[in-house]
Structure 1
Amino acid sequence: MSIVASGSGSSAAAPADKGVGPLLRAWREQRRVSQLELALRADSSARHISFVETGRSRPSEEMVLRLAEHLDVPVRERNALLLAAGYAPRYPETPLADPALDALREGVERLIQGYEPYPALVVDAMYNVVAANRGILMLLDGVPASLLAAPLNAMRLTLHPEGLAPRIRNLRAWRGHLLDQMDRQIALRRSEPLRALYEEVAAYPVPEEEEGEGEGETDYGQPAEPVPYFALPMLIEHEGRTLSFISSISTFNTPMDVTVAELAIETLLPADPATVKYLQSLTP
Structure 2
Amino acid sequence: MGGAGEVLRFWRRRRGVSQLELATATGVSTKHLSFVENGRARPSRQLLVHLADALDMPLRERDRLLLAGGYAPPQGRSGPRDRALRPLRPALDALLAAHDPHPAIVVDARWDLVAANAAADLLWDGVDPGLLTPPVNMLRLSTHPEGLPRISTATPVCSRPLITRLRRQADEDADDALLDLVLEAEQHLAAFAGRPPPRWTGDGVMAGFELKTRLGVVGLHTVIATLGAPLDVGAADLALETFLPTDEDSAALLRELAATRPEPQHGALPR
Could you tell me the TM-score, scaled by structure 1's length? 0.76
> What is the CA–CA distance in structure 2 between the aligned matches of 1:32 and 1:112, rounded to whole Å?
40
Describe the superposition over 1:60-85 as per-residue Cα deviations: whole angstroms up to 9, x where unpaired: 11111121123221222112212333
Distance 1:29 1:203, change over 3 A: same
Q: Which of 76, 80, 89 is residue 92 of structure 1 equivalent to? A: 76
The aligned counterpart of 2:191 is: 206
Range with greater deviation from structure 2 (238-247 or 175-184): 238-247
SS at match of 1:238: strand
**Whole-Å separation in 1 of the counterparts to 2:9 and 2:183:** 27
Correspondent of 1:263 among 221, 238, 243: 238
Aligned-pair CA distance for 1:276 = 3.5
* 2:47 alignment partner in structure 1: 63
CA distance in 2, matches of 1:283, 1:269: 14
Please give the per-residue CA displacement for 1:199-241, whole angstroms capped at 9, x wherever unaligned: 333323634665573143xxxxxxxxx62224xx241332452
- Pairing 1:183–2:167 present: yes
Could you tell me which runs of 5 or more consecutive residues in structure 1 were left unpaired when the two chains were aligned: 1-14, 217-225
1:44 corresponds to 2:28: yes
Cα separation, 1, equivalents of 2:245 and 2:91: 23
* Residue 142 (1) aligns with residue 126 (2): yes
C-alpha distance in 1 between matches for 2:210 and 2:170: 27
Query: Which 5+ residue runs of structure 2 have no aligned equivalent?
Result: 260-271
| Partner of residue 221, structure 2 | 245
How far, CA to CA, are the matches of 2:252 and 2:195 in structure 1?
28
Equivalence for 1:130: 114
From 132, 151, 167, give the equivalent of 2:135.
151
Correspondence 1:3-22 to 2 at 5 A: 15-16=1-2, 19-22=3-6
Q: CA RMSD, aligned part only?
A: 3.0
Distance 1:34 1:195 in 2: 26
Q: What TM-score does the superposition give when structure 2 sets the normalisation length?
A: 0.79
How far the C-alpha of 1:134 sits from its partner, in A, is 2.1
Counterpart for residue 81 of structure 1 = 65
Aligned residues: 256
Aligned counterparts of 1:62 and 1:148: Cα–Cα separation in 2: 44
Identity of aligned residues (%): 36
